[in-house]
A and B are shown apart, each in its own frame.
Chain A
């Protein structure tokens, strides 16, 4: 099993957190203009590339497939992944997917992963620790449940030897060593590696790589199973929180510590 690896990396096209982000429309979905490849997914891609390269990379038959679900623009997350080093790209795109919650998203992704594994099942599904927009961290565990696979989530390190994965997971009160056999679903934290940037060679090579577009029909999913109708939760109201405004700013002239305490006392925080 481990001679060559077939790794599917889930990548999400998310609004750039450097700008103001908004909810829009009746279903209060995220406005996806000004979007980028989620920075947390770069760690998953890097982890996949390292596992592949340790086994001879693409030349030895290892595959790193970047899979993104999302509207037309999401193909940019796939393209960026190809520039960074993924061997092929897949864009799952269908109007019916809009407004999917985590449950519907995991249903569609699980179907896409099975579809991509029709000839040879994937050894590993790698994801980031969360999306930087929804931030629920539900999808990796839901995918594992739907695919009937073990999950190693929030991996701060990851090794693969003879078909066995070993990872470190840091909790608040303890750190665990986790083991699972392939195939598995793994989500990685931002502690695991330093993601590489696409270089000129990578950008040129990406132009020759294949991006497959899949619709719901391709993966055997009904429109009613996803989107708003297939979701198990619904957003009812969304209200922008009034932006915080700056309060009193002072420059220390020797007594700022005392002024700080006076402020806390006035706020009844002591």
Chain B
């Protein structure tokens, strides 16, 4: 049976949903193994066991986070050799893709990014050209490296759990030689809302918000949604750049995307047009966002959103 190696960088106290998704996909392709970096807490270890992880690897070095990407790719390459894996899965974050990129050169392995589904034969499905095409692609090399988008599959634990023992992988001493160092790290305050790329619902604001995300935040909290923004709003400094949806920000595919005060230029559309349902509120009836909205309101977001929030609360009693 094919061995599938999942890379989990800093599993944290419990595993993230995106990690559980990777484990679920790994099990559908073969025998799942995990290479993690950082500490493995009890809850995270329990989740790995519940998801049927057969083999577990940890790096010999504790300072991989002090470098950008390079040494993590070296560690992962060594873990692939030890495990005999023919498929490697990583998350589709900027760092996940870069680790995949360096790993692919080390292994001579084809890498496919932005994957949303994987067939048992290794065929990967993804959208290209800002969601305007759906393609299938396959690595033609002995090892395939796939970076998988969040929200691609519903995580499911294994029928029978496992009890994997961590094996230490020797990180080559040369791994850090040609690597950029992380010399300072500032943690960002947690918003308490769902992660933008993992959220089922996203409420996003643009120029029309005019500096006041309050009504969007209230609607988002009533819906359990994440907050997103267009580049106009992040450039204006009304909200952090990490909330940006679009070509140079995040690509999201939630069940519901509520766009408020966003005109819907191509750069914005490319980040959200694979959402299942799009709702748009904009004063300007000519906004291109209305061309792709399932439900559109030509109106003032400062009237419409609070009314919607109140109505949701009323219905829920």
Which A positions have Cβ atoms within 8 angstroms of B? Answer: 17-18, 20-23, 28, 30, 40, 101-103, 106, 129-130, 132-142, 144-146, 148-154, 156, 165-166, 169-180, 184, 189-191, 231-241, 243-252, 255-261, 263-265, 267, 269-270
Find out whether the CB atom of A142 lies under 8 angstroms from the CB atom of B298: no
Evaluate contact between B132 and A141: CB separation under 8 angstroms: no
A62 → chain B closest CB, angstroms: 23
- Contact A257 B305, CB 8 Å, known A172-B93, A239-B133, A250-B297: yes
What are 10 A-B interface contacts by the 8 Å CB criterion? A103-B104, A135-B114, A138-B111, A153-B98, A154-B94, A173-B188, A176-B184, A184-B180, A191-B241, A251-B285
Cβ A247 vs Cβ B293 within 8 A: yes
B contact residues around A270 at 8 Å (CB): 223, 312, 315-316
Q: Which 7 A-B pairs have the closest CB atoms?
A: A257-B307, A252-B299, A232-B110, A141-B101, A180-B180, A247-B294, A257-B308
Number of residues on chain B facing chain A (CB within 8 A): 94
Contacts of B315 in A (CB 8 A): 261, 265, 270
In Å, the complex CA distance between A22 and B133 comes to 8
Does A142 contact B102, Cβ atoms closer than 8 Å? yes
* In the complex, chain A residues whose CB is within 8 Å of the CB of B94: 137, 153-154, 171
Q: Report chain B residues within 8 Å CB of A191.
A: 241
Please judge, given known A-B contacts A21-B132, A257-B306, whether A150 and B278 are in contact too, CB under 8 Å: no
Take A18-B266, A269-B256 as given contacts and tell me if A233 and B180 are in contact as well, using a CB distance cutoff of 8 Å.
no
Which residues on the A side are within 8 Å of B139 (C-beta)? 232-233
**B304: CB under 8 A from chain A?**
yes
Q: What is the CB-to-nearest-CB distance from B148 to chain A, in angstroms, rounded to a whole number?
A: 14
Contacts of A177 in B (CB 8 A): 182-185
Q: Are B70 and A231 in contact (CB under 8 A)?
A: no
Which residues of A are found within 8 Å of B137, using beta-carbon distances? 233-236
Determine if A241 and B180 form an interchain contact, defined as CB atoms under 8 angstroms apart. Answer: no
Encoded as 1 (CB less than 8 Å from any A CB) or 0, chain B from 102 to 139 comes to 10111011111110000000010001111111111111
- Cβ of B60 within 8 Å of any chain A Cβ, yes or no, is no
Residues of chain A contacted by B141 (CB below 8 angstroms): 232
**Interface contact A237-B135, CB-CB below 8 Å:** yes
Indicate if the CB atoms of B110 and A178 lie closer than 8 Å.
Answer: no
Q: Identify the closest chain A residue to B291 (Cβ).
A: A246
In contact, B69 and A151 (Cβ under 8 angstroms): yes
Shortest Cβ distance from residue B315 to the other chain A in the assembled complex, whole angstroms: 7
